Chains A and B, each alone.
Chain A
Amino acid sequence: MRQGIGTIQLALRAVSGHGGWLAGLLLTAVWLALPSIGVAAEGTATGPTEYRDIPYIGSRNLVWIVAQLHLLLAGFVLGVPIFAWLCEVIAWRGGEKRYDKLAKEFTKLLTSAYATTALFGGILLFLLVAFYPKLMNYLTDVFFPSFLLYCLLFLLETATLYLYWYGWDAMQYGKLKTLHVVLGFLLNFFALFIMIVPNAWATFQSSPVVISEGTAIERAWAATWNPTWWPINIHRLIANVVLGGYICGAYAGVRYLSVKNPEEREHYDWMGYVGNFIGVFGLLALPFAGYWLMREIYQYNQQMGITLMGGFLSWLFIIQAMLIGVLFLGSNYYFWLGITYRIPGSEGKYRRAMLMMLVSLLLCLAVWMTPHSLVASIEEAQKMGGAHHPLLGVLGVMSAKMTVSNLMILITFMSFVMYWRAGKQDTAGWAKLGKAVMGAVLVLASLAVIVLGVWGYFVPAIVRINYFSTSQVLIVIFVILTITPLTALLLKSAKTTTEMVWGSMPPRAGYALVLNAVMVILLMTLMGYARSSSRVHWHVYGVMRDSSPYAYSPALGSASLIMAFCTFFFCILVAFIFWVATMGDKAKAAASGKGELPHGIPAMAGGAPEERQQG
């Protein structure tokens, strides 16, 4: 440092004779910058920076919040195109225009949602590079080729999205419509890869596969194909459909609560139904994907599995059961409200069945929420004969939980079938036989699920996991794949006794849709915390240790407030995106003053507004 000051004095003497004020200024600037050079030199002496922090919030909390919001937005941005494309295909093949307009309305959201997602992704990247430079350096070294691939995919997805959205009106008919549907497929195709590439970076941290030899591509590929990569890919893909569906439902629910126009009420009631249906459709498959993921985690590392389900995170699964339980109840409740209010005359006919379903769901939920061990005083433990309650301890194990979760899926499926069949009378000659077969399949399947569940207590865990639980899942899938086509065949020739009345749902239906969406978002935040916490004090499990002050997982209570904040902030962001996306349309509608539906606002239930006017 002293040497440096001496050099400046020499230089100043040299320039003073020439009166070079500019050079003097430059040297002053260099002199002012010297302390930072000194700091940098000191930093170099002690090795490269591993962590940086910010006061009050803490670097970990900030990264947590931004990463969670980015993930939720990404789930929304990836779920909505699937949802929209499916609706477009239904309209294209079935000829129902309202599905096409619904698809268009949601695709319109994508442009603003996409930008917001990218914004949060950029912020996350900057924060990670700033706060965790050593970890990011390591991950870059492993994954460099996939970073380039990701950039390419991002470009392709952006181009496809623009073509898909801006080409909507121009590609409405004939071969151009086919091209538009293909564009929608490509959008989803690129979106899928946009999801699975970063999934590799995240899953690598939990289940790393490292090779030190080979080319950069070989090393990146080995790290990408890690044990939990595909289970997460499948799990997230389904979860994104569920998220997209329920958010669509929540949007419709809020609009339903606020609109006064009966036509709009009809429309948003119908949109809420579609959103809830797609959400439930994904929800039925989600537990299977989750089970597969947990199984892979156990196979990869028993310790990590136990940390998740038997260690300090075990109580998290009780909260998860509560959230999933409320989601199942909310989805069923919405179906039951639909039967009661949309199909006049059905409320009395199905009341008993609905009551039985409600009781069964609550019983299943009670079993699912039963903890394996209780927090008990020494006196209480002595009375119970251990940490496990004599009865509740039996219900706290996986055999019971797998059984009730499968039963809840079956009940929800039957709720949907009941809604589907409501207001219709069978006319087919084989209707009696068909219904008997369906009833037998359902009863036998339920019994088989229960028998396997009870039997599971008496066999080694590996037999239960590999054979019994898998069989339970296959039985439920068999029921869904048998009853769905049979019901569809029966209803093809059925007589409609009561027409569906849209727009007659009570306000609580709108709140039920909002509740379902909040439950899904909370579930995603909760399981994000679980996945991250399962790595315990490792950035990359078993490879790179977290040596920062944040190398611990916070308790569930304090974490829940961050999760609640993320959920709330995400809801506000989505509301903002919806508001921005429809702002221009409202202005256009007001300017035209004709009461015509603005561009992008879908048709009423039963047909497009133009069609009605023509009719």
Chain B
Amino acid sequence: MSEVAQLQLIALSIVGFGILILLFIRATFVRVTGFVFIVLGLFSLMSLAVPQLASLPPAEEKVDLASIKTPTDIAAIGQTVFFSKGQCALCHSIGPSESARCPDLKGIGAKLSKDFLYESLTDPQAFVYQDYRHGGVPKEYPATMPRIDKDPIGLSKNEILAVIAFLQQMSGEPISVSLSDLEIPGQTPKAPVKAAESALVAKARTH
């Protein structure tokens, strides 16, 4: 029996217990308790009837440089990061989607260069067009895109490059991210992100 089925059985028992109380007990307070049991049991049954999604912490994708032989290997890592730690799919779609709140990334690798994509991910306010149009007056609205290299997402440089490789591959473009672009651990240690520097953490005015 699945966990959901077990929980449904518990909820159903609570409802049943409440019904039994209402049928056989005359004491008012106990009857009201039985009524509350029925309401709470039904609430649990309703909650168990909807899709059961847990929110797991993102898996730490270790970019194992030794296992990367070709740019396609980088793109494969990028695909995993895109749908897990990067949380890109939370807002973006790949292909048209009614539920996507942010630009469709299908073909984005063909439209934008590697450097432009890197800047868009690490400094989203640098170049913004209204309603994602490639034209008109820029920066009418601030970008809702967070800085991907800062907390709470905090992708490493290698992970960002892997995502760019994935976007290029997905657009049918040749992957311009090369093995030499990747940082080798120990050579350029990543500076720790201080809480006050986090992209999300607003700096309050102290005056």
Contact = CB atoms under 8 A, between A and B. Distances in A.
Interface of A: 208-214, 218, 222, 225, 227, 254, 257-258, 301-303, 306-307, 310-313, 315, 318-319, 322-323, 372-373, 375, 386-388, 393, 460-462, 510-511, 514-515, 518-519, 522, 533, 536-538, 541-546, 551-561, 563-564, 567-568, 571, 575
A7 B162 CA distance: 60
A315 B152 contact: no
A201 B201 CA distance: 15
Contact of B201 (A209, A546, A553, A564): A209
Given A218-B206, A543-B201, A558-B7, A254 B28 contact: yes
Interface string B73-117: 000000000000001001100000011010000000000000000
A318 B50 CA distance: 9
22 contacts: A210-B196, A218-B206, A225-B204, A303-B152, A306-B90, A306-B91, A310-B99, A315-B50, A319-B50, A323-B43, A462-B141, A510-B32, A511-B32, A522-B40, A543-B195, A555-B53, A556-B53, A557-B7, A557-B47, A560-B47, A564-B43, A568-B40
B39 interface: yes
Interface centre among A218, A311, A546 (most CB of B within 10 A): A311
Contacts of B50: 315, 318-319, 556-557
B62 interface: no
Nearest to A315: B50
B47 A556 contact: yes
B136 interface: no
Interface in B163-199: 194-196, 198-199
Contacts of A323: 43
Given A222-B204, A254-B32, A537 B198 contact: no
Interface centre among A315, A318, A545, A564 (most CB of B within 10 A): A564
Contacts, number: 171
Interface in B95-153: 98-99, 101, 131, 141, 144-146, 150-152
Contacts of B141: 462
Given A210-B196, A553-B54, 10 more contacts: A210-B198, A254-B28, A307-B90, A323-B43, A522-B40, A537-B55, A542-B151, A542-B198, A542-B199, A567-B40
B165 to A, nearest CB: 23
B195 A212 contact: yes
A454 B28 CA distance: 48
Interface string B149-162: 01110000000000
B110 to A, nearest CB: 25
B32 A561 contact: no
B47 A222 contact: no
A46 B151 CA distance: 26
Interface string B2-28: 011001101100100000000000001
Given A213-B206, A222-B206, A560-B44, A514 B35 contact: yes
B98 A393 contact: yes
B98 A210 contact: no
A361 B11 CA distance: 28
B1 interface: no
Contacts of A213: 206
A301 B7 contact: no
Nearest to A551: B57
Nearest to A250: B32
Contact of A303 (B8, B32, B91): B91
B36 interface: yes
Contacts of B65: none
Contacts of A543: 151, 195, 198, 200-201
Contact of B194 (A212, A306, A373): A212
B44 A561 contact: yes
Nearest to B140: A462
Contact of A546 (B29, B52, B57): B57
A210 B193 CA distance: 13
Given A257-B28, A306-B101, A462-B141, A536 B57 contact: yes
Contact of A211 (B10, B14, B206): B206
Nearest to A393: B98
Given A257-B32, A564-B40, A373 B99 contact: yes
B142 to A, nearest CB: 10
B56 interface: yes
